[in-house]
Structure 1
Amino acid sequence: MDEIAKLIEPQIPALRRYAYALVRDHDAADDLVQDCLERAVSRWYLRRDDGHLRAWLFTMLRNLYINSYHRQKRRGTRVRLDESIMPSVAPNQTDQLEMNDVLSALERLPEDHKSILLLIGVEDLSYEETARVLSVPVGTVMSRLSRARQGLRALLSGSRVTPLRRVK
């Protein structure tokens, strides 16, 4: 068990960052990471020795997020009664506003584009590692990343992206 902990512990900060970027709620992100770690430890025997631990953990976290996302969609919008009130003036409002714009635009992207941007842009996974996490070919990762960046740029600039038409 100590060996498992030594391998998993260094991955926790990256898992927490990725989980927070997905759910945008610290408590929900911590719960998601805990569920992921619990599942990883209980299914450690399923892990391939030649496999990449980081990719395995990120795949597990993403799958748990998708399952909870679908479950939440079936249940409807959650309203928190104990939300704290944000101060009326933040220390640096423009940075906060820009960050809120980026996070809001990221939320409006399709889930596969959002995951690609977070894994490559935030967690600094390679295309190959991202392909393993998402179970898609590397070429698909590159094309989705390009479309995701284009979509994010369009959302941030306020313009609409015209979908490409097929030409016969």
Structure 2
Amino acid sequence: MSGDSFKDGLIAHIPSLRAFAASLSGSITLADDLVQDTLLKAWANADKFEPGTNMRAWLFTILRNIYYSLYRKRSREVQDSEGTYAQRLAVHGNQEGHLEIADFQAALAQLPEEQREALIMVGATGISYEEAAEICGVALGTIKSRVNRARTRLAEMLSTSGVEETGPDAKMLAALRVSGSESSLP
């Protein structure tokens, strides 16, 4: 079938498609959308139409399938005109969290090895100051000093004064716990 005769066939069936769509959906507006989607799908799949077969039946099948797909989709949707469900399902973007964690990792890598080691032991792994001092073979005061200097230096490099400057990103909260801001965490 040539492109022009296929197009003419589509155009000729628009009124019957519209009537069928209106009877299925009960809405002229939705019927027009269904017909448009049907025509687009038929045009995109023109190579699959076999000349000599019933174009009307083919188009009605496409329209019917589109309608039932839409109907099934709508049955899974929840009416939320007040936005109640949407508020509970809102998820904060994590793009900034990824950037902040990358900045944190870069700043952590710039710390002197002794400070970084002490900070990771005490902040990230939860080892007590006493255990960290024993593992490193240094005095308790030395570990406390290294952790404090590491926290201070990280805060300077990251230009942060606390959790309130960050979003609710879980990775960032964990990173700040490592850097020593756990006293101000929720």
TM-score, with length taken from structure 1:
0.44
Higher relative contact order (CA 8 A, sep 6+): 1
Structure number with larger C-alpha Rg: 2
- Of Structure 1 and Structure 2, the greater helix share is in 2
